[in-house]
Structures are given as structure tokens and as C-alpha cells.
Amino acid sequence: MNKVIQLQDLGLKDYKDTWDYQEELFKAIVDSKIKNRRENAGLQTKNYFLFVQHPHVYTLGKSGDLDNLLLNEKQLADKGATFYKINRGGDITYHGPGQIVGYPILDLENFFTDIHKYLRFLEEMVILTLAEYGLKAERSPGETGVWLDVGTPFARKICAMGVRASRWVTMHGFALNVNADLGYFDNIIPCGIRGKAVTSLHVELGKTKVDETEVKTKLLKHFKNLFEAELLVNEI
């Protein structure tokens, strides 16, 4: 089993270009697995972890409801935002500057074959990271992602998640609001959940700006420990 994960930080990158890149890496891993099965080729499958930030964009998961986007095409253009219907789970969400997006593209057969456990580990990574900033983050029953003040009228989501998996290979991932402009969430019903707010780390800490590099470092520390993985930094 290959527990080495190649880390790439893509910086600010267009959503569609990043999606295409994910698909390319995903397909290469799946193709290796098919070749191994058919030909007993003994190929070692690779794993990746992509960090990225996107220009303003709304994405709708395959089971999502388009009515949860509250803007028409002209209004999207006026806000400098784009929209894509994509092949992950979940409903609608927003990505934009100030949000740390992570896309683990893993062959789970290198780690464990349990999608539920995979999602819980991603949530735990974020929960442990936020604890280092003095925040008590937690899961909300039946609602994937990471929340604050669960079970109160003040429940608010700080990290959204949506993944795709095929042949135990994952893509898509999580979006943690760190310095995000929360006004963009007013244009959707986030994740299709009415009546619950969205927040960002800088708002919770009362800071103008949080060090995003520091947050990434903390996320990777917990990711590495949870998955018992070795991280290899790849320059691109």
C-alpha cells in the first residue's frame, strides 16, 4: 500500500481548470487500478492532495436543486461569479478568495475502504485545526461538514464538504472559510439547508485577516496523522 501523498498548492486557479486537472489525476489512478486487475500489472497507485483557491464560483452537486441558486445569469456576471453543475455529492456551495479548498485524490485501498470513515476523517482534520484557534467545532447530525454551536439557534457552518468516489478513488473535498467574503453566501441556500448561517475563521476570531499558510500547515499536520500518511511536496 502506498501511503505517500503528493501535495500540490495550486494557488488561485479557475474552478473548471482545477476540475479538469482533478479528473486527469483521478483517471490516471483508476486506469492503473483497472490495469492491475486485468493484467496483474503490480502498478503502485498514486495519491494527491491539492490546495487551491478559486475566483468567485458557485457549484451544484449531482443531487442538488438548482433553485438553491438565487441568481440569474446576468446577476452572476454582475458579481463576477461563475456557476458549474458538477459530479460530487452534496448540494450548492460557494468558493472564492479567502477560502482554503482541499482536494484529496486518494486511492483509499492504500488506506482503508470506507467512505463514511473518509468523510469523518476530513471533518476531524478541520475540527482539530479549529481547536488550535480556541474554537469548539463539531459535526451536525445528518449534515456533512463542520459547524459551530450545533443544536442552538446560532448554528453556523464553517466548512463544507462534498466528494466523489469510484473504485475507491476520491476527488473533490472540503472548503474551509478562513478569510472568506460571506456576502457571497447570501446568493444561495448553502448546501440546500435553510435557516442556518455560514461563518468564517476571521469572523469567529474577530480578526481582519487570518494567516492562511498557518491554517494549511495545521490542516496538513492533522491530515497526515489521521491517515498515517507521508506527505511529499510537489512543485508545479
Tell me how far apart the terminal alpha carbons of the chain are, to the nearest angstrom. Answer: 25
159 part of the active site: no
> In sequence order, what are the residues at sequence separation of 6 or more whose Cβ sits closer than 8 angstroms to the Cβ of residue 141?
none
Residue 21 is labelled as binding a ligand: no
Residue 64 is labelled as binding a ligand: no
Residue 172 is labelled as binding a ligand: no
Residue 38 is labelled as binding a ligand: no
Residue 139 is labelled as binding a ligand: no
Q: Beta strands 230-233 and 4-12: pairing type?
A: parallel
Residue 92 is labelled as binding a ligand: yes
Residue 84 is labelled as binding a ligand: no
Q: Beta strands of 108-167 (E only): which ranges?
A: 137-140, 143-148, 156-166
**Residues 126, 158: Cα–Cα separation, whole Å:** 9
Residue from 60, 191, 219, 220 carrying the catalytic annotation: 191
**Residues 38, 142: Cα–Cα separation, whole Å:** 39
So which residues are the catalytic ones? 191
Q: Could you tell me which residues are annotated as the binding site for substrate?
A: 88-95, 160-162, 173-175
